[in-house]
Amino acid sequence: MLRRIGTAGLLSIALTACGAGGSPAGATPTGGGKAAPPAQTTPPQAPPPTTPQARQDAVERALARMSVEEKVGQLFMPVLYGTAADTVSGENQARYGAQTPAKVIAKYHLGGVILFPHNIKGVGQVVGLTNGLQRASGDVPLLIGTDQENGLVARMSALMTDFPGAAEIGATKNPDRARAVAKATGAELRALGVNLDFAPVADVNVNPKNPVIGRRAYGNDPARVAKMVAAAVKGFDEAKVAATAKHFPGHGDTDVDSHTGLPVIKHTKAQWEKIDAPPFRAAIDAGVDAVMSAHLVFPKLDPSGDPATLSKPILTGLLRQKLGFKGVISTDALNMEGVRKKYNDGEIAVRAVLAGADLLLMPNDLPKAYRAVVAAVRSGRISKERLDQSVTRLLTLKQDKGYLPEAPAANAERAAGVLRSAAHRKLAAQVTR
């Protein structure tokens, strides 16, 4: 039986892709961690498919081999505990019913994992961890993500260059700076084996009382933020790391933190078009890989009272159909209070998929959420076609970043030469000046 967590515990683990600072509860593994395995050199690999048809065929072959349970597992990206794939942790056992990250991945057929500071000890250790996680994933490589916005939210700061955050970059009024910092950030993440960043922030910070966005945004001018976001997306793409524009449909005008409450945005549709939409349009035009939903109510876009994460009119009607986004829609962390006001953890996961989400980030109760989605597919509430759409998008993202059919192994020696390089430190200093 899973250990129940009180309100204080829930708040402490809700420092996720949307929130600033810290790491989840239980950041220190409760079991005795094993030493990281030796760094792996990159093995010889077959060249990736080069034509659009060949890439599509590779995705379809991977999809065809999966059972319903394996497909559902592809949707989930939890936080795991330990500094190596075989670290024994009481947190993993209590939350997931398996002791090590590798066993959790195998048990739930996970498609992704998100890293937090408690997973980070050193360069060689992280390289060993990400390589070990990929080996545990079986035939379909993982998306290994983190929140490396720089500035206030920088989960990998212990190892990476201390780049300035979005507000400082926005103040330069130079999109080339945003692009260069994103490219350098992506290069450092990729060297560590991380292939997805929950950045850039695409919110326009128009409310001085905003407790959760603030200096994480590029500024309060929609046109300037849009240019910065588009440039950052291109920088991440040049580094072959997936970028995530967040938090759709816009978290900039709120005085409530969605980690602890449910914000309500009172913008009209016209105001949304003028203030909130431009950075997301720009991100999509720039080819952004993923867009993250916000746990907030936007009555003029959906009068149901459900947060955007669970809103089909917002995720499917607005983001997919109106803005034409074809990539991966990620939820913000599903352990946040903003999404847990009305429904239980299983129903939240099902409703997010029905709304249009593809990636279910950090469910509060992974076993319950996983079983609920499998049951919804078996009963027909979630059609198999709908499930295949999400899995296809996730596989296509992996394919586009060079992670199908096999994830390239990170290399500790190479990573040491990329992380905090002289060129990256010089870039950080230039932006700060």
Q: Which of 356, 351, 342 has the alpha carbon at shortest distance from 372?
A: 351
Residue 392 near residue 128, CB atoms below 8 Å: no
Residue 235 near residue 281, CB atoms below 8 Å: no
d(Cα 378, Cα 213) in Å, to the nearest integer?
39
Residue 358 near residue 330, CB atoms below 8 Å: yes
From residue 13, give the alpha-carbon distance in Å to each of 116, 170, 312, 362, 378.
Answer: 11, 30, 27, 10, 31
Strand, coil or helix: what is 298?
Answer: coil
- What burial letters (b/e) apply to 253-273, b meaning 16+ CB within 10 Å? bbebbbbbbbbebebeeebbe
Tokens of 406: 């096999």
Which strand ranges, in their side-by-side order, compose the sheet holding 242-248? 112-114, 143-146, 196-197, 242-248, 290-293, 328-330
Alpha carbon of residue 248 to chain centroid: 13
* Torsion angle of the four alpha carbons 411, 190, 12, 248, in this order, in degrees rounded to the nearest 10: -170
Q: What angle do CA 304, 306, 307 make, to 5 degrees?
A: 135
Give the E-state strand segments of 62-121 in sequence order.
76-77, 112-114
Strand, coil or helix: what is 68?
Answer: helix
Looking at this protein, which amino acid is placed at residue 252?
Answer: G
**DSSP state letter for 297:** B
From residue 82, give the alpha-carbon distance in Å to each of 91, 190, 199, 293, 410.
Answer: 9, 20, 24, 28, 18
Which residues are known to be catalytic?
259, 332
Tokens of 50: 């080069």
